[in-house]
Structure 1
Amino acid sequence: MNEQHRTIVVTKNTGEKDVFDAEKLKTALRRSGATEAEVDLVEQEVLDNLYNGITTKKIYRLAYNLLRTKSKRTAGRYRLKSAVMNLGPSGYPFEKFLGRLFKNRGYNVTVNEIIKGKCVTHETDVVANNGTEQIMVECKFHSSIAQKSDVKVPLYIQSRFLDIKAVWEQQPELKNVRFVGMVATNTRFTEDAKDFARCVGLKVISWDYPAGNSLREWIDESGFYPITALQSLRKKDKELLLENNLVLCRELEPHRQKLRELNFSESTIKKILNEAAHLIS
């Protein structure tokens, strides 16, 4: 990267300004499975189109469009963050997606369970139990990537968790189980939110936090890519599949008949399943 590119200022989704960092771009490309040749090609394309004030969204689009011509699998993985952002707008599909990730990690899972606490009744998003620990997970889904969960979120969730925990502690079948509260978000937490959670022992997980155990890394480890990553599906088709509890790309092939029942044509089904197979391979 030449000196000219070292001074290019980009506009983040939050509206903040920052100096363009080619290494961040290359790291994201490599994480998606791009070859070094593809990384170099995309980097050069982006560098050729840089200008002061360019948005990170524009940079992403340039990279993604070029990747699509080289490898649908790599392109699909590169747009993973966008795919998770599309698990809305209600946030319920995000809760089901989190439930799938916990099941993959060896937990028995219930989603949207009504639980009576010591003081009041709560509707929980995800409860996960692996025999040694039971986790109450509250999901904070944001439709805008610029939106963060601030300190009020863990403050509120911690009080709910303690109310539920007081009842769990009285249940004989949970005598040797450790109880954990957690907040999961598809975007990020403010520093105050992370500090408070760390102080009271509340777990928090976001797109890139904590390092080494973030939502992005959970997804990469599991290979559980949401159906919203598929370009062969229109927005309304994605919504239809999510409404019918088809959340993951790997769930589509075993439910081919369900796709027929939802009035997808055979040619469309073939196209969808082909893209899904490439993504999860």
Structure 2
Amino acid sequence: MKLNACVMTMLLAGAGLASGQSRVLYDPRLPTPEPRISETERGRVKYLADQAAQRGLWANLDNVPGGTRDLLECGSRGFRITGVAPGAFTTKGTQQTAYLYDYCNVSHAQNLQGLVVLNNLEVAAHYTFTGHYYALYAVKDINRNGFTELGLEGYYGNTGTGEGWLTVTELQPVRRNLMRLDVYSDDCLGVQTGWKSQVIRVIPGTTPRYTTQSIAGQCSSERVATSVGGIRSISVQATPTGWTPAPLK
């Protein structure tokens, strides 16, 4: 979910929070635009993903195609860039671009993914992992250390129900997840009683402060909340990303 300043301001004002202090980190009612990239960017990221496959970085996982050739074939069909975000992710004061990619969907429960950070077309960082992340956006330095964080939204659905989560990650000075929260659930492919979610906000600072607000709605209207709860403070804990460093060239 890429946040637009106008929409963010409206949401904060509507919630009655102190405008100019709080930022929306997650709200399922906000749209997720399709990433806009050039063929040169796509080709650069695809090349790096192929290098990761050739070096067997996903090879120890269950259900991964048995040989490098099979995995590259899966990547030729399944590769796509699902999110793009600008920021200073690995070096302060720079203009970098982060790319979230899918490489190969090996099963309903396992998707081979990766993250690449480019300075123009020079590679600053590359990691591989498995997951169901579908969106990426920049988080503007919520802990005031000079680096842009990454917001990643994930979703997994099975047997008529789905669960969504939010991860906020920083790559420098130490690669870690600042938070990982379950934020969404629905049964919209099953009995269709509706969806429930949290709106997550943050007040930036050397020790960021976070709040959550419960909302819910009908499956027929995913952008409209029919129930809105109160705002309360939450605490979060940093955790390792579990990502594997991948080829930079």
Q: TM-score range by the shorter chain?
A: under 0.3
The structure whose RCO (Cα within 8 Å, separation 6+) is larger is 2
Q: Per residue, is there more strand in 1 or in 2?
A: 2
Q: Per residue, is there more helix in 1 or in 2?
A: 1
| Alignment TM-score, normalising by the size of structure 2 | 0.27
